[in-house]
């Protein structure tokens, strides 16, 4: 019973669903007016986090205060560790992280407030604490004790230190830092839009972030970086790369890490990360993986005109710096919390309940028949 004057766009593709001053992909990906290339090359993740949450790049004094606030908010309540230790070790890391954020909501005095200053403060505290949640679960699952956060390390170095129990090499810290910058924000992606829908009901920041984490868990969104690594593990050798990908295309197998709803020719984030992969692969015994990846990329482009998206090189990069596959998507959360928080705050600032319509394709109107008269 579709109204012929209305147009249906599956997946809302191409639909303008709102206005934002946070990021745009028009003319190249930009965060609040700054190109992603400049930010990846010249900035740090902490500085980009400030930009997204506060709206502008910080002055030296603002940045110093911001870093101090993050460092002081990295510790989490003991209740988090108690609960994590009680969970089955085969629990999904994203489900555990979602639960961890819910626990933090109970321990945050500003949880129920949507006032601007309170929301910014909550966003900073979540940004600081999420790496602690991610690494604590990874270590507990592995049978190790969580490593306490350190206030003398930057965001990425502290995260890797908590994960591995040792300070990372600079190449590892820098690679992770750049990846977090690139993952931080991406307009009205599925999880950010989910966060805005929740926020539009005037749900609080923690609640909207929990909703976003649930959306990001899906393999068509955040989980794609994990699947991209599984592809290369299955391919195995350079000689098998082209036969494997051609067979995958012939059998209509979905190859994760390629194509994007918005980027039709190039994902600029993938281009930046591939450069990092090529740079560090010789020292990480990963040149074969890069050659396999290049062969697969060429066939996908030649046959399907699909470019690699960011998840394709991100999975390889994380593997090169010694990260377990299960932690890839939680690391996405550690970055994207900045974009989510910005969207939630922006939604609350000029809120209108997001309530779209649907095309009804069910039965025509029919009369109710009592149960005793139904054949």
Check residue 269 and give its pLDDT.
92
Cα 169 to Cα 278: distance, rounded to the nearest angstrom? 18
Fold of 224-320: Cytochrome p450-Terp; domain 2 (1.10.230)
Check residue 14 and give its pLDDT.
83
Check residue 4 and give its pLDDT.
52
Give, in order, the Cα–Cα distances in Å from 196 to each of 19, 66, 154, 301: 11, 25, 29, 34
The residue annotated as part of the active site, out of 186, 260, 343, 348, is 260
Q: Which residues contact 177 (CB under 8 A, 6 or more apart)?
A: 44, 45, 154, 155, 156
| Catalytic-residue membership of 186 | no
Check residue 256 and give its pLDDT.
86
Check residue 3 and give its pLDDT.
58
Structure tokens at 220: 């068509």
Neighbours of 250 (CB within 10 A): 9
Contact 71, 151 (CB under 8 A): yes
Neighbours of 353 (CB within 10 A): 8
The residue annotated as part of the active site, out of 108, 177, 311, 343, is 311
Per DSSP, helices labelled H in the chain are 36-42, 45-54, 60-72, 78-86, 93-106, 116-141, 155-164, 170-183, 190-200, 205-216, 224-235, 238-250, 268-280, 287-304, 311-320, 328-349
Structural domain boundaries of the chain? 22-220+325-349, 224-320
- In degrees, to the nearest 5, what angle opens at C-alpha 335 toward C-alphas 330 and 337? 90
| Catalytic-residue membership of 260 | yes
What CATH number has the domain spanning 22-220+325-349? 1.10.580.10
To which residue do tokens 């809302």 refer? Answer: 12
DSSP-derived 3-state class of residue 244: helix
What is the per-residue pLDDT across 7-16, written as a single tens digit (0 to 9) for each? 888 888 888 8
pTM score > 0.85 for this model?
yes
Check residue 223 and give its pLDDT.
77
- Those residues of the chain that have pLDDT short of 50 are 1-2
The separation between CA 353 and the C-alpha centre of its own chain, rounded to angstroms, equals: 24
- φ and ψ at residue 258, rounded to 5 degrees: -130, 145
What is the torsional sign of CA 21, 23, 29, 34? positive
């Amino acid at each position: 019973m579709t109204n012929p004057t209305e147009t249906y766009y599956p997946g809302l593709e191409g639909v303008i669903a709102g206005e934002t001053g946070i990021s745009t992909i028009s003319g190249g990906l930009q965060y609040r007016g700054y190109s992603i290339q400049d930010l990846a090359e010249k900035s740090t993740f902490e500085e980009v986090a400030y930009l997204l949450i506060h709206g502008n790049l910080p002055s030296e004094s603002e940045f110093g205060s911001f870093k101090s606030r993050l460092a002081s908010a990295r510790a989490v309540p003991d209740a988090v560790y108690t609960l994590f230790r009680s969970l089955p070790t085969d629990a999904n890391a994203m489900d555990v992280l979602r639960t961890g954020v819910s626990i933090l909501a109970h321990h945050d005095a500003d949880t129920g407030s949507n006032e601007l200053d309170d929301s910014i403060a909550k966003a900073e505290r979540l940004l600081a604490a999420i790496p602690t949640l991610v690494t604590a679960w990874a270590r507990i699952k592995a049978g190790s004790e969580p490593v306490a956060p350190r206030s003398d390390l930057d965001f990425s170095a502290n995260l890797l230190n908590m994960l591995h129990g040792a300070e990372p090499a600079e190449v590892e810290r820098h690679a992770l830092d750049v990846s977090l910058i690139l993952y931080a924000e991406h307009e009205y992606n599925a999880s950010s839009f989910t966060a805005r829908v929740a926020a539009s009901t005037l749900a609080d920041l923690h609640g909207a972030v929990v909703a976003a984490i649930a959306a990001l868990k899906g393999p068509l969104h955040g989980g794609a970086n994990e699947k991209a690594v599984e592809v290369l593990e299955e391919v195995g050798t350079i000689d098998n790369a082209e036969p494997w990908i051609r067979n995958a295309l012939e059998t209509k197998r979905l190859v994760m890490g390629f194509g994007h709803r918005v980027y039709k020719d190039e994902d600029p984030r993938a281009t930046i990360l591939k450069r990092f992969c090529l740079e560090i692969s010789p020292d990480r015994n990963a040149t074969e993986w890069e050659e396999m990846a290049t062969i697969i990329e060429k066939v996908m482009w030649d046959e399907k005109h699909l470019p690699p998206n960011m998840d394709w090189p991100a999975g390889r990069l994380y593997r090169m710096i010694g990260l377990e596959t299960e932690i890839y998507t939680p690391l996405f959360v550690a970055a994207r919390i900045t974009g989510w928080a910005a969207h939630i705050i922006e939604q609350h600032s000029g809120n209108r309940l997001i309530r779209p319509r649907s095309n009804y394709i069910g039965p025509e109107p029919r009369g109710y028949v009592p149960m005793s008269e139904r054949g």
